[in-house]
């Protein structure tokens, strides 16, 4: 693929020298609201690029991955620093996150690395349920939030209606700090300027760039009422009763003091300003660039996440101090074709320097094949990322974000610290991937590369799980959804050069005896050479799910010598693994060995193993063998408005709803038992049925008999 011609990066964002000059702001919102385009506009306004890139052209700084360019949407978390000039320049690390629900891993990584969230909403699309859930997630983290309403110049834009929806969804403390002033209607509607409600300064955009001018008279009443609501909200959150008394008495308050109080309330996470932006005309971009370093808290104003030693002892009193003990976290891992593995790291305490030995602690290191919960390795060079470009730096202080090369064993979520003072940060959680796709190598050469490629893919993406099913022997990639699945397969082919074929996911069915039966195994071969002689008679009875094999010895009189009784059991177990009817493992039976016959010369361990296998197969021919299907317990969390549709859908999948309970605000948790055959694609179907509001978890419960008509249909499909 030919590389798209993008904007030239004319500025650099070096590592900051102190936490007070850093802001880490994550951009969140559902797909299509314009987060990436807003980042481009801010980069251009800050002088970092000579022009703003376009998603449609594949020329943006943040969406540089080939898959992102092809699909025209963000897939990865990208760090884009911009320098905001002033008396004391501030480095703002913009963390552009994917809006599509499948890529929640990179969203969570952005939330972990950030100190404030900017919700990007479209003035034409309103607020969906996923955005409400994101707001609640940020609230649970006590993360300061602001709202940027984009596309205010669109003919269908309704800024005031979007603000009303924000207040309905997020609370009364979501209030506009700026008001877009429009002219014309429909296709002829334009945004003439932007009114600062606290400062009462009007920025006129009608002639191009913002010029301070007198506010239009026709919006005077609207500005007055909105300004009054904003001031009352700011004063109430400032908790300054004297200030409220002065305001109620009609005293004119200093705008600079009101702005300072608003910034304090935003940093405290109790007030959420709304700003208006048009990335096509530039309206509001300069204002947003100015407000981000002022309203968003610096890293030194935010608490460090809980920390322990690797053995679990609490570590108190850590702060964002460049001179403190080193504490950093890998928030994302990527593979670079030229430099190998690169770790995106947020430094919470201390100062990280290149080519130093760091202690790597991780909650999953043992699972990844390391003998200990922690390892030490030498970090490579440090760099400040700016899209696909990186700029080497000599050190990175607490509060900043950087790319670290050559951390071969550190993975997403691992903690980096000083080897003399090892630390471990509390892990962050990810939803389980619940959409499976079975893959196999397309050729022998691909087969040799497949295992390593999927291992590297899983190391990069914590929301991707790789499993080789021990019963079906399929390699299964568990993904978050169809888009996530497409990206995983795309990366296998284009990044790692592995061509794979996808197969239908095979559910691990099993067999059991539906009724008691008897069988005889006769293994007699006495012609020529060393003979074989083993005869056994067994009774087979079904047992409850999960019982496995219960082998009972009822031999009397030594008709089967004691040393050969375990051989019969071994043969029975071997046959159970291969099944007796349809090739699926046989489970949950009691086998009673009650009679048999041996030969003084020709009997042997192997002879009675074969007899045991033959006896089980013989019993199956005289009984009805039932197929068993695995049943999962599903816990489905869904908005109340879609609860009925979800429960009806579960019933249509042969599910049994066993309970439900309300989960504030406005959701219901439904618990149901559903066969695995019916929920292979449930991650996709639930999203459709619940309009994106539903999430679920699952756990294996037991195996149950598969209805006979479905068993026949399944066998016909399996054997073509």
320-337 pLDDT, tens digit per residue, is 999 999 999 999 998 766
Q: Which residue has the tokens 């002892």?
A: 313
Q: Return the C-alpha torsion angle 374, 377, 382, 385, nearest 10.
A: -50
How far is the CA of 657 from the CAs of 52, 412, 674, 677, 705, in angstroms? Answer: 52, 37, 9, 17, 18
367 pLDDT band, cuts 50/70/90, is: very low
pLDDT score of 572 more than 60 = yes
- Same CATH fold assignment for domains 307-425 and 435-503: no
Kindly report the number of other CB atoms within 10 A of residue 715's CB atom: 15
- The residue with greater pLDDT, 716 or 170, is 170
Would the pLDDT of 156 be above 80? Answer: yes
Residue of 252, 225, 248 lying closest to 236 (CA atoms): 248
**pLDDT at residue 556, rounded to an integer:** 94
CATH class of residue range 435-503: alpha beta
Tell whether the model's pLDDT for residue 560 goes beyond 70.
Answer: yes
- The span from the CA of 522 to the CA of 211, in Å, is 100
| Domain 21-301: top CATH class | alpha beta
For domain 307-425, give the fold: Elongation Factor Tu (Ef-tu); domain 3 (2.40.30)
Q: Domain locations in the chain?
A: 21-301, 307-425, 435-503, 510-623, 627-718
Decide the pairing of beta strands 22-28 and 116-122: parallel
CA distances from 259 to 20, 162, 198, 262, 291 (A): 19, 23, 7, 5, 10
**Predicted local distance difference test score (pLDDT) of residue 6:** 57
pLDDT tens-digit map of 254-313 = 888 888 888 888 888 889 999 999 998 899 999 999 999 988 999 999 999 999 998 889
In CATH, 627-718 is 3.40.50.2000: no
The CATH number corresponding to 510-623 among 3.90.550.10, 3.30.230.10, 3.90.105.10, 3.30.70.20 equals 3.30.230.10
H/E run at residue 452: helix 444-460
Q: Report the sign of the C-alpha dihedral through residues 680, 683, 686, 688, in that order.
A: negative
Asked whether residue 369 carries a pLDDT value surpassing 50, the answer given is no
What is the rounded end-to-end Cα distance, in angstroms, of the chain?
Answer: 40
Helices (H), 179-240: 220-238
Q: Cite the beta strand spans of 35-104 per DSSP E.
A: 78-84, 90-96
| Cα 581 from Cα 512, distance rounded (Å) | 10
Range from 12-21, 53-62, 63-72, 516-525 that averages highest in pLDDT: 516-525
Q: Are 12 and 81 in contact (CB under 8 A)?
A: no
Q: Model's pTM, two decimal places?
A: 0.87
Most confident residue range from 50-64, 139-153, 200-214? 139-153
Mean pLDDT, rounded, for 106-120: 95
What distance in Å separates the CA atoms of residue 75 and residue 460, rounded to the nearest whole number?
Answer: 13
């Amino acid at each position: 693929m030919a590389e798209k011609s993008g904007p030239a990066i004319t500025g650099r964002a070096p590592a900051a020298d102190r936490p007070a000059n850093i802001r880490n702001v994550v951009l969140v919102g559902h797909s299509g609201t314009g987060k990436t385009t807003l980042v481009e506009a801010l980069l251009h306004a800050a002088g970092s690029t000579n022009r703003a890139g376009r998603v449609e052209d594949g020329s943006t700084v943040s969406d540089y991955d080939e898959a992102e360019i092809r699909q025209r949407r963000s897939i990865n978390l990208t760090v884009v620093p911009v320098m905001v000039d002033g008396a004391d320049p501030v480095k703002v690390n913009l963390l552009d996150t994917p809006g599509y629900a499948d890529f929640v891993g990179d969203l969570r990584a952005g939330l972990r690395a950030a100190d404030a969230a900017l919700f990007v909403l479209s003035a034409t699309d309103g607020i969906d349920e996923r955005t409400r859930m994101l707001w609640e997630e940020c609230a649970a983290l006590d993360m300061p939030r602001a709202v940027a309403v984009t596309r205010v110049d669109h003919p269908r834009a309704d800024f005031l209606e979007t603000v009303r929806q924000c207040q309905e969804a997020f609370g009364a403390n979501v209030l506009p700090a700026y008001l877009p002033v429009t002219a014309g209607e429909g296709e002829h509607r334009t945004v003439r300027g932007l009114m600062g409600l606290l400062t009462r300064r009007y920025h006129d955009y009608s002639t191009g760039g913002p010029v301070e001018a007198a506010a239009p008279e026709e919006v005077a009443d609207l500005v007055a009422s909105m300004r009054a609501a904003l001031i009352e909200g700011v004063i109430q959150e400032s908790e300054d009763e004297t200030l409220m008394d002065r305001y109620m008495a009609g005293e004119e308050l200093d705008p600079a003091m009101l702005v300072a109080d608003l910034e304090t309330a935003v940093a405290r996470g109790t007030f959420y300003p709304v700003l208006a932006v048009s990335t096509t005309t530039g309206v509001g971009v300069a204002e947003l660039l100015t407000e981000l370093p002022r309203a968003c808290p610096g890293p030194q104003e935010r608490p460090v996440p809980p920390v322990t030693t690797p053995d679990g002892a609490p570590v108190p009193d850590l702060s964002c101090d460049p001179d403190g003990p080193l504490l950093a976290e890998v928030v994302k891992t990527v593979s670079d074709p030229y430099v190998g593995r690169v770790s995106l790291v947020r430094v919470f305490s201390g100062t990280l320097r290149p080519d130093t030995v760091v202690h790597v602690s991780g909650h999953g290191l043992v699972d990844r094949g390391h003998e200990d919960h922690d390892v030490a390795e030498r970090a490579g060079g440090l760099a400040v990322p700016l899209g696909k470009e990186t700029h080497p730096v000599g050190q990175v202080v607490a509060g900043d974000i950087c790319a670290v090369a050559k951390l071969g064993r550190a993975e997403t979520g691992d903690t980096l610290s000083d080897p003399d003072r090892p630390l471990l940060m509390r892990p962050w959680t990810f939803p389980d991937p619940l959409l499976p796709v079975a893959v196999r190598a397309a050729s022998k050469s691909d087969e040799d590369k497949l295992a390593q490629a999927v291992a590297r893919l899983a190391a990069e993406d914590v929301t991707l799980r790789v499993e080789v099913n021990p019963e079906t022997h399929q390699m299964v990639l568990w993904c978050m959804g169809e888009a996530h699945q497409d990206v995983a397969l795309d990366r296998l082919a284009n990044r790692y050069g592995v061509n794979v074929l996808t197969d239908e996911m095979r559910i691990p069915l099993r067999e059991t005896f539906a009724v008691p039966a008897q069988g005889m195994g006769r293994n007699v071969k006495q012609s020529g050479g060393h003979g074989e002689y083993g005869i056994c008679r067994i009774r087979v009875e079904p047992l409850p799910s999960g019982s496995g094999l219960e082998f009972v010895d009822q031999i009397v009189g030594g008709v089967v010598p004691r040393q050969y009784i375990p051989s019969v059991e071994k043969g029975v177990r071997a046959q159970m693994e291969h099944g007796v009817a349809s090739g699926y493992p046989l489970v949950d039976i009691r086998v009673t060995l009650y009679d048999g016959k041996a030969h003084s010369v020709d009997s042997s361990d192997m002879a009675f193993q074969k007899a045991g296998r033959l006896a089980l197969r013989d019993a199956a021919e005289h009984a009805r063998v039932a197929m068993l299907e695995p049943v999962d317990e599903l816990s489905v969390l869904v908005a109340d408005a879609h609860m009925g549709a979800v429960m009806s859908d579960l019933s249509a999948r042969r599910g049994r709803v066993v309970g439900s309970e309300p989960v504030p605000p406005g959701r219901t948790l439904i618990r149901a038992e559903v066969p695995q055959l019916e929920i292979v694609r449930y991650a996709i179907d639930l999203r459709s049925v619940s309009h994106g509001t539903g999430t679920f978890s699952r756990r294996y419960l037991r195996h149950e008999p598969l209805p006979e008509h479905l068993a026949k249909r399944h066998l016909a499909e399996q054997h073509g």
